[in-house]
Amino acid sequence: MAGSPTKQDLIWRSVQELAINGDKPPARYIFCDGDGEQIDGSPPLFPVPVIDVSLITSSTSQSSKEDEELEKLQSALSSCGCFQAVGHGISSSFLDKVREVAKLFFELPTEEKQKYSRAVDELQGYGTDQVLSEHQILDWSDRMFLGVHPEDQRKLKLWPENPRAFREVLHEFTANIKFISEILLKAMARSLKLEENCFLNQFGEQSTMIARFNYYPHCARPDLVLGVKPHADGSGITILLQDREVEGLQLLENDRWVRVPIIPDALFVNVGDQVQIMSNGIFKSPVHRVVTNSERERITLAVFYMPQKEKEIGPEDGLIDEKRPRLFKKVKNYADIYFQYYQAGKRPIDAAKI
Is residue 233 part of the contact set for Ni ion (CB under 5 A)? yes
Is residue 138 part of the contact set for ligand OGA (CB under 6 A)? no
Is residue 237 part of the contact set for ligand OGA (CB under 6 A)? no
Taking the C-alpha atoms of residue 96 and residue 64, their distance in angstroms, rounded to an integer, is 34
DSSP-derived letter for residue 121 is T
Is residue 253 part of the contact set for Ni ion (CB under 5 A)? no
Is residue 142 part of the contact set for ligand OGA (CB under 6 A)? no
278 by DSSP, 3-state: which? helix
Is residue 225 part of the contact set for ligand OGA (CB under 6 A)? no
Contact 271, 281 (CB under 8 A): no
Is residue 76 part of the contact set for ligand OGA (CB under 6 A)? no
Q: Is 165 exposed, middle or buried (0-12, 13-18, 19+ CB in 10 A)?
A: middle
Which of 73, 169, 209, 302 contacts ligand OGA by CB under 6 A?
302
The rounded radius of gyration (Å) of the Cα atoms in the chain is: 20
Is residue 139 part of the contact set for Ni ion (CB under 5 A)? no
Least gap, CB of 306 to Ni ion (angstroms): 13
Is residue 288 part of the contact set for ligand OGA (CB under 6 A)? yes
Which of 74, 202, 208, 300 contacts ligand OGA by CB under 6 A?
300
Is residue 267 part of the contact set for ligand OGA (CB under 6 A)? no
Least gap, CB of 45 to Ni ion (angstroms): 19
Q: Which does 248 bind (CB under 5 to 8 A by kind): ligand OGA, Ni ion, none?
A: ligand OGA
DSSP-derived letter for residue 309 is T
Shorter beta-carbon distance to ligand OGA: residue 212 or 326: 212
Is residue 13 part of the contact set for ligand OGA (CB under 6 A)? no
Is residue 259 part of the contact set for ligand OGA (CB under 6 A)? no
Total site size for ligand OGA, rule CB under 6 A? 11
Q: 44: closest CA among 226, 241, 242, 250? A: 250
Contact 163, 101 (CB under 8 A): yes
Q: 177: closest CA among 305, 50, 87? A: 305
Least gap, CB of 100 to ligand OGA (angstroms): 17
Is residue 118 part of the contact set for ligand OGA (CB under 6 A)? no
DSSP-derived letter for residue 124 is S
Q: Which residues contact 34 (CB under 8 A, 6 or more apart)?
A: none
Q: Which does 190 bind (CB under 5 to 8 A by kind): Ni ion, ligand OGA, none?
A: none
Least gap, CB of 148 to ligand OGA (angstroms): 15
Shorter beta-carbon distance to Ni ion: residue 184 or 319: 184
The backbone torsions φ and ψ at residue 27, rounded to the nearest 5 degrees and listed phi first, read -55, -35
Is residue 240 part of the contact set for ligand OGA (CB under 6 A)? yes
Report DSSP letters for 169-236, one per residue. HHHHHHHHHHHHHHHHHHHHHHHTTS-TTHHHHHH-TT-EEEEEEEEE---S-TTT--SEEEE---SS
Total site size for Ni ion, rule CB under 5 A? 1
Contact 208, 306 (CB under 8 A): yes
Is residue 249 part of the contact set for ligand OGA (CB under 6 A)? yes
Q: Which does 51 bind (CB under 5 to 8 A by kind): Ni ion, ligand OGA, none?
A: none
Q: How far is CA 11 from the centre of its chain?
A: 22
Q: Which residues bind ligand OGA (CB under 6 A)?
A: 212, 214, 228, 233, 240, 248-249, 288, 290, 300, 302
